[in-house]
Structure 1
Amino acid sequence: MEINDATSSFSALSQATRLEALRLLLRHEPEGLPAGEIARRLDVPHNTLSAHLAVLARAGWVSSQRESRSIIYRANLGHMQRVLTFLVSDCCNGDPTLCAPLVDALTTCSSSSTKEPTP
């Protein structure tokens, strides 16, 4: 990933509604969510959400697919992997022992985020 691609990606996430939309879609991988459901869950007008999803799509964070009368949006996990790899590619000068806490945190985060909250 080039620096300009990375800055475009980060720029797309620098707005609260877009970041919330991406996080919502990440929680609903791999099935994704219809645009209307995203708007409802985020309490955002449909036209406003459409503009935000377009920004995320241009930056590579989301993809869409028409299914019958709905447009289903999904997080682009490949893009997320490329962005994270870009961020950590120079981490700790390649010393895996120094990077271990970061890897552990990502592993712990991903396994705990899949659990449903308890009432």
Structure 2
Amino acid sequence: MDLEGTARCLAELGNVWRLRLFALLVRAGRDGLTITELRNELGMPASTLAHHLRGMVAGGVVTQERQGREVRCRPDFKLIEAAWAYFRDECCKGAPSTTTRVALPARRGTAAR
């Protein structure tokens, strides 16, 4: 994964509805959910769901598989893991560890902690 790939991945998730949709798929695990199940869970019109899924499929964060009359959607865990690893390893290089406490400057009019 590189910077451009990570940016595309994050861009496809950069919407409240897409994040909700993606969270549902992640919680469903490797089995994913059908479009009907997603629509029922989200209470979203079919055309709106189709719009968001098209972008997510084009961006590679979601895969689809036709099963008879239904289409099953799954998150691409490998892509998301690769994007997160890039973000963590490359973008956060040299940043203080999340377990390291950083002393914040005192605000005006308050004593230092």
Aligned residues: 98
Aligned mates of 1:13, 1:4 — CA distance in 2: 14
Aligned mates of 1:85, 1:58 — CA distance in 2: 21
| Identity in percent | 23
Q: Deviations over 1:43-101 (max 9, x none)?
A: 110111011011111111110101111000001100111111111113454xxxx47x5
Q: Match for 2:24: what amino acid?
A: L
Cα drift, residue 3 of structure 1: 1.6
**In terms of mean alpha carbon deviation, does 82-91 or 68-77 score higher?**
82-91
> Which residue does the alignment assign to 1:38?
38
Cα drift, residue 2 of structure 1: 2.1
Aligned mates of 2:4, 2:31 — CA distance in 1: 30
> Which residue does the alignment assign to 2:72?
72
Stretches of structure 1 that go unaligned for 5 or more consecutive residues are: 102-119
**What is the SS of the residue equivalent to 1:73?**
strand
> Which residue does the alignment assign to 1:89?
89
Matches within 5 A, 1:1-119: 1-90=1-90, 91-93=92-94, 98=97, 101=99
1 or 2 for the larger relative contact order (CA 8 Å, sep ≥6)? 2
Max Rg structure: 2
Stretches of structure 2 that go unaligned for 5 or more consecutive residues are: 100-113
> Which residue does the alignment assign to 2:110?
none
TM-score, normalization by structure 1? 0.74
**What is the SS of the residue equivalent to 2:29?**
coil
TM-score, normalization by structure 2? 0.78
Structure with the higher fraction of residues in helix conformation: 1
